[in-house]
């Protein structure tokens, strides 16, 4: 009886481990796909270079506005 319980417990642990591993893999894959798609905001999709240029441009504009007040 104890041997059957141990075997079933081992099989259960193995299956639960595989389920957790698959769940983690799917989560990582989803994050990777999202990263490769680019940044999406307000219906506009930016790739990483466009987004960087947009951020740099806005930072320069903000810097110029701050300098106007000083």
- For residue 46, pLDDT over 90 is answered with no
Q: Measured at the alpha carbon of residue 37, what is the angle toward residues 36 and 41, in degrees to the nearest 5?
A: 130
How many whole angstroms separate alpha carbon 62 and alpha carbon 57? 9
The pTM assigned to this predicted structure is: 0.46
How many whole angstroms separate alpha carbon 42 and alpha carbon 23? 30
Q: In which band, very low, low, confident or very high, does the pLDDT at 44 lie, cut at 50, 70 and 90?
A: low
Residue 39 β-bridge partners: 46
pLDDT digits (tens, 9 = 90+) for 59-68: 766 666 666 5
Structural domain spans, the chain: 1-37, 38-70
């Amino acid at each position: 009886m104890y041997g059957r319980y141990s075997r079933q417990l081992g099989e259960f642990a193995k299956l639960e481990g595989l389920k957790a591993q698959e769940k983690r893999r799917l989560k990582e894959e989803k994050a990777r796909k999202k990263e490769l798609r680019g940044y999406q905001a307000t219906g506009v999709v930016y790739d990483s270079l466009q987004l960087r240029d947009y951020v740099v441009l806005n930072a320069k504009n903000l810097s110029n506005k701050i300098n106007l007040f000083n």
